[in-house]
Amino acid sequence: MLMPYRPEPYVNFAEPGPREKMIAALKDVRAKLGRTYPLRIGDKRIETDQKIISIMPANNDTVVGYVAKAGQDHAEQAIRTAAETFKSWRRVKPATRARILFKAAAIMRRRLYELTAWECFEESKSWIEGYADVCEMIDFLEFYGREMVRLGAPQEVTPFPNEDNELLYIPLGVGVVIPPWNFPLAICSGMTSAAIVAGNTVVLKPASTAPVVAAVMAEIFEQAGLPPGVLNYCPGSGAEIGDFLVEHSTTRFVSFTGSMEVGLGIFERCGKISPGQTWLKRSVLEMGGKDCIVVDETADLEAAADGIVTAAFGFQGQKCSACSRAILHQDIYDEVIKRVVEKAKPLTVGDTTSEENFHMGAVIDEASYKKINNYIKIGRGEGRLLLGGGPSGQLAGGIAPPPSGGYFVPPTIFDDVDRDARLAQEEIFGPVLAIIKAKDFDDCLNIANGTQYGLTGALFSNDRMRLERARHEFHVGNLYFNRKCTGALVDVQPFGGFNMSGTDSKAGGRDYLLLFMQGKSITERL
C-alpha cells in the first residue's frame, strides 16, 4: 500500500551533515565534467557531429558536457519511434506506469546531493535552490504516480437501468515536451513524467542551456524500468527541430514552459492543421510573468521585506514566479525600501560550486547577462538606482562588486519606477527589482493587475477585508497572503497563471494529468 503523498523535506546546509554531503557531491560531479551525451531514440544511442556545448555560467572556461545535437532527420526518427512505442505503452496498466515513477523517485532520492551538484555546475543554482529543485522533481513523480492510480480506476458515473456505463481516461498519443532551463529537473521531469504516466510517449527537447541535467534524468528513467521509445531524448535548436516537432502531423500535444514569445509561437502553430493530421493538437503552456508583492500600511513590514528580497533575488531572479515588482502603499513606502535594501545588500554572489555556499550564483548565459544589463541601463533612466547595477556604471549602495569569470549580476533595486515603465511591464528574468508607489489600496490592485501577465502575486496586509477583496480582484493564478510569491509546492499550491502567463495548467495539481488524456464514455445495453 502506498504511503500518503507528502512533499519532500529540505535540509539545512548550515548543519555539518548536509554541508559535508554537499561538498563531497560537488567534488564527485566535478570529476564527471566534460563527458559526451548521445541522443536517446528508442534503444539507440546516437552520436552526432554537431554538439551542444554546455558551459558553466559561473566559470566560462569550464565545459559541463558535450551533448549530441539533433537535426530534423533525428527529430523525425524520434517522432516515428514514439508513435510506434505508443501502440504498446498505452496498453500498460496505469498502476504499472506509476510504479516506474515511484522507482525513479527512489533513485533520485538516493542521488539527491549529486543531482543538486549538477544543477550548481550547469545552472549556477545555490545549494538550497538546487536541492529544492530536486525535491520538487521527486514530489512530481510521487504525486503524479498516485494520481494516475486514481484516474486509472473506474470513474464514477450515474447508474442507468439496463445499461452498463463506464468512463475511461485514455492517453492522447505522441507528445513534444519543451522544458525550460531554470528548473532543469523539477519542471523537466514534471512535464515529462505527467505525459508518460498518463500513457503517452514523448519526444523531449531540453533547453540548450540545461541539456546535461536532462540527460542524467533520462538515464534515471531508464534505470527505473521505462521501456525504450517511451522517452526519446532529442536536444537541438528551436529553429532547426523545435518548430518541426511542434508542426509534425504525428504530434498530438505540446507541453511547453518558457518565454511568452516562444509560447505564443507554439500556440499559433498548434492551431494549424498539418497535412495528414486528424486531431486538434493540445498545447499546455506556461509562459512567465511580471510578478509582484503588494504591501499595505497595515502589514508586518519586516516579514514583507523578507518576502520581497527572497522572492526577487532567489536563483538570481530567474524564476517565472520571481518578484520583479514591489508595490508599496505610500504611507510605508520609505520604511519598506530601507528594510529591503538592508536585507539585499549582504547577499553574497559567486560560484556556487565552491564551499562558500553563496546566496546567488551567475545568470544562465551571455545572452541573459547582456539582456539583464540592458534593462539595468534602461532602469537608470526610469527610476532611482538604490542598490547594485550593471558593468556600465558604478555599483550603488556600497554593494561589493561580483567576481569575474562568469555571468554575475548583483542584486539590483530601483525605486520611483512608474507603473507603465518598461522596468515595471517587461519580464527581465534576472535579479532586478522595480519598486512602485501606490496612493491607496485601490491603486495597489490597479498596479498589480496592470500588466499583460497573471502568474503569481502576494499581498502583505493585516486587514481582513482587503485580503478577502484580493481573493476576487488580484488576478493571478497563484496568490499568496503574507508570504513570498515564489516556492509553490506540488499538490499544495497547484501552479499556473492567467492572461499571457499561459494556459493555467496547474502543474502539480489534481487536474494536471487530465491535460494529457481524453475521456471515453462506453455504454453496453444489458
pLDDT tens for 375-407 read 999 999 999 999 999 776 679 988 888 899 999
Amino acid, res. 390: G
- Let me know if 426 is exposed, middle or buried by CB neighbors in 10 A (0-12, 13-18, 19+): middle
Instruction: Determine the CATH number of domain 291-489.
Output: 3.40.309.10
Grid coordinates representing 386 are 538604490
Mean pLDDT of 499-523: 97
From the list 236, 291, 282, the residue with the least C-alpha distance to 513 is: 282
Read off the pLDDT of each residue in 8-13 and give the average, rounded to a whole number: 97
User: Mean of the pLDDT values across residues 9-13?
Assistant: 97
Percent of the chain with pLDDT over 90: 97
What is the structure's pLDDT at 72? Answer: 98
Mean pLDDT, range 432-439, rounded to an integer = 98
pLDDT at residue 391 in the model: 77
Note the pLDDT tens digit of each residue in 349-359: 999 999 998 99
Cell of 356: 562558500
Kindly report the average pLDDT of the chain as a whole number: 97
Contacts of residue 406, defined as CB under 8 A and 6 or more positions apart, other chains included, come to 56, 57, 58, 59, 60, 124, 351, 361, 362
The predicted pLDDT at position 388 comes to 96
- The whole-number pLDDT of residue 285 equals 98
Alpha carbon 307 to its chain centroid, in Å, reads 20
List residues bridging with 481 in a β-sheet. Answer: 459
- Phi, psi of 191, rounded to the nearest 5 degrees: -60, -45
pLDDT of residue 392: 60
Residue with cell 545535437: 69
In CATH, 16-287+505-525 is 3.40.605.10: yes
Residue 297 in grid coordinates: 500600511
Give the pLDDT band of residue 145 (cuts 50, 70, 90).
very high
User: How far apart are alpha carbons 4 and 350 in whole angstroms?
Assistant: 39
| Predicted local distance difference test score (pLDDT) of residue 398 | 85
* Per-residue pLDDT at 390: 76
Element (H, E) at 178: strand 174-178
What does residue 134 show for φ and ψ, rounded to 5 degrees?
-65, -40
Give the integer Cα–Cα distance in Å for 326 and 334: 12
For residue range 154-163, list pLDDT tens digits in order.
Answer: 899 999 999 9
CB 406 within 8 A of CB 57: yes
Catalytic residue numbers read: 286, 320
- pLDDT at site 393: 65
Instruction: Provide, rounded to the nearest whole percent, the portion of the chain with pLDDT above 70.
Output: 100
pLDDT tens track for 354-374? 999 899 999 999 999 999 999
| CATH 3.40.309.10 domain residues, the chain | 291-489
pLDDT for the residue numbered 455: 98
The candidate with the shortest Cα–Cα distance to 442, out of 470, 483, 480, is 470
Measured distance CA(489)–CA(315) in Å, rounded: 17
d(C-alpha 62, C-alpha 328), whole Å: 42
Q: Is the pLDDT of residue 26 over 70?
A: yes
For residue range 269-304, list pLDDT tens digits in order.
999 999 999 999 999 999 999 999 999 999 999 999
In the chain, ranges of CATH 3.40.605.10 domains: 16-287+505-525
- 52-70 average pLDDT score: 98
